[in-house]
């Protein structure tokens, strides 16, 4: 066996735990195998299922998977299979597509498994949180159907996502490590930000500090700066910062692929009192949300409690929670837009979310602060350690 590279990796007991969970739900649906697509979209989140099953991925590397109900798991990588063989000890059958035809090794492996009339689960046909129309490439799917005309293909997106949503202690530990990396980046941001410093240089300091602290390449950093009610966007500018600027962001770092998110507003100089008042109320709303994040609690109940609290505080509160892990996990609540399915979702121990309520004062400023939170029997546990406050950068 080749010597493994000196990179962070998950344990073999973690592999065995999650493979057993996946194969249990495969038994329930009588699936002979599951196939996942080589897709790195939405800040690499669409690669989550493949990485969950194979422990292969990162730096937007395309990887697909054939995961049988019994037998060896096969990963298909774009190139350099010898590298991926040395980064992990979960999967040894690693293949590459010839002439970029991903269906070739996938079909080859399925023939080896004796697939003929069985049921095949396809991750990404539909039912994704932000992809109800699916992400599985039509060309690969069509070639598979031609190769196995008597097999039954069905969507397995939600099935795998439900397994991924309940995380082990080892997975929560990865998120906690990622949260610490984010905070190292935010500290560097605060140290770099000053009047006259170009916006993109502060952005670069944030990235550098996270990479130095051990993050994989951060793929989801939203960023904005300027006077007034600034909203984060996708790219930094070359504008020099000024006293009185607000820094707005959503920052993620990754540890072994697990992405923790933090929202940390910052202000250059002395912030106006209404902004500090909004931050005080936001902290109360966040804590009320966190305390209710216990197993068995329904999302709808948390939202109702936040609405009542906001009325008491004399402000408007809009709650956003969505799952965090290797990708964007179920369920998804953005800006309080809640379907009946989301309202009835019951939290489970091991769920992890970015919790980021927005609080707005009547005829006044609004503010958002957020951290990654894990569901426990005692309520939500913040995975970050930094202070819950508006970051004030003296100048």
* Confidence band of 1 (pLDDT split at 50, 70, 90): low
Provide the token pair at 66: 């054939």
Here the CATH number for the domain that contains residue 111 is 3.40.350.10
Stretch 152-162: mean pLDDT:
96
Is 258 within a domain?
yes
Is residue 127 scored above 70 in pLDDT? yes
Question: Is it the case that residue 291 has pLDDT exceeding 80?
Answer: yes
Single out the residue of 267, 250, 265, 261 nearest to residue 181, CA to CA.
261
Domain that holds residue 216: 169-393
Query: How many domains are there within the chain?
Result: 2
Asked, for residue 31, whether it belongs to a domain, the answer is yes
The CA distance from 26 to 167, in Å, is 19
264 domain-assigned: yes
Same domain, 35 and 137: yes
End position of a domain, from candidates 165, 184, 209: 165
Residues 340 and 220 in one domain: yes
Helices 138-147 and 103-112: crossing angle, nearest 10°?
A: 30
Q: Where are the alpha helices (DSSP H) in the chain?
A: 12-29, 48-54, 81-87, 103-112, 138-147, 157-165, 169-192, 199-212, 273-291, 299-313, 340-343
CB contact burial 145-166 (16+ within 10 A = b; e otherwise): eebbeebebebbbebbbebbbb
Residues 250, 383, single domain; the answer is yes
Do 155 and 211 have their domain in common? no
Residues with Cβ within 8 Å of residue 16, at least 6 apart in sequence: none
- Beta strands 266-268 and 321-324 are unpaired
Residues 19 and 110: their CA atoms lie apart, in Å, by 18
**pLDDT tens-digit map of 69-107:** 999 999 999 999 999 999 999 999 999 999 999 999 999
26 and 91 both lie in a single domain: yes
Q: Which of 165, 187, 219 is the last residue of a domain?
A: 165
Same-domain pairing of 238 and 355: yes
* SS3 category, 12: helix
As a whole number, the mean pLDDT across the chain is 95
Residues 143 and 232 in one domain: no
- On whether the CB atoms of residues 251 and 354 are closer than 8 A, the answer is no
Which residues have a Cβ under 8 Å from the Cβ of 287 and sit 6 or more positions away?
A: none
- 209 contacts 184 by C-beta, under 8 angstroms: yes
Domain contains 3: no
Residue 329: per-residue pLDDT: 86
Domain boundary residue among 117, 140, 165? 165
């Amino acid at each position: 066996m080749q010597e493994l590279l000196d990179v962070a990796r998950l344990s073999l007991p973690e592999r065995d735990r999650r493979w057993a969970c996946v194969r249990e739900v495969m038994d329930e649906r009588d699936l002979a195998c599951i196939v996942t697509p080589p897709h790195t979209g939405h800040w690499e989140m669409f690669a989550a299922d493949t990485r969950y099953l194979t422990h292969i991925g990162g730096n937007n590397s395309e990887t697909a998977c054939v995961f049988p109900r019994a037998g060896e798991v096969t990963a298909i990588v774009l190139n350099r299979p010898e590298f991926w063989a040395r980064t992990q000890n979960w999967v040894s059958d690693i293949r590459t597509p010839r002439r970029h035809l991903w269906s070739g090794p996938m079909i080859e492996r399925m023939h080896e498994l004796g697939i003929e009339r069985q049921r095949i689960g396809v991750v990404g046909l539909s039912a994704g949180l932000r992809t109800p129309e699916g992400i599985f490439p039509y060309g690969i799917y069509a070639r598979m159907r031609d190769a196995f005309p008597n097999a039954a293909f069905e969507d397995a997106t939600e099935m795998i996502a439900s397994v991924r949503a309940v995380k082990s202690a080892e997975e929560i530990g990865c998120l906690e490590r990622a949260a610490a990396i984010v905070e190292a980046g935010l500290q560097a941001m605060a140290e770099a930000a000053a009047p006259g410093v170009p916006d993109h240089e502060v952005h670069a300091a944030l990235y550098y500090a996270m990479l130095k602290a051990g993050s994989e390449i951060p793929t989801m950093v939203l960023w904005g700066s300027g006077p007034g009610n600034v909203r984060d966007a996708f790219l930094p500018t070359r504008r020099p910062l000024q006293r009185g600027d607000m820094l707005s962001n959503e920052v993620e770092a990754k540890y072994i692929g697990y992405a923790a998110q933090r929202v940390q507003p910052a202000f250059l100089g002395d912030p106006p009192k209404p902004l500090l008042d909004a931050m005080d109320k936001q902290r109360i709303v966040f804590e009320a949300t966190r305390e209710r994040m216990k197993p068995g609690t329904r999302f709808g109940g948390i939202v109702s409690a936040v609405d009542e609290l906001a009325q008491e505080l004399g402000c408007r509160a809009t709650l956003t929670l969505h799952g965090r892990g290797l990708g964007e996990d179920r369920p998804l609540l953005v800006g309080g837009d809640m379907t009946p399915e989301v309202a009835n979702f019951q939290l489970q121990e091991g769920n992890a979310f970015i919790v980021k309520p927005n609080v707005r004062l009547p005829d006044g400023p609004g503010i958002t602060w957020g951290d990654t939170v894990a569901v426990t029997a005692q309520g939500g546990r913040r995975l970050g350690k930094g202070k819950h406050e508006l970051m004030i950068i003296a100048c």
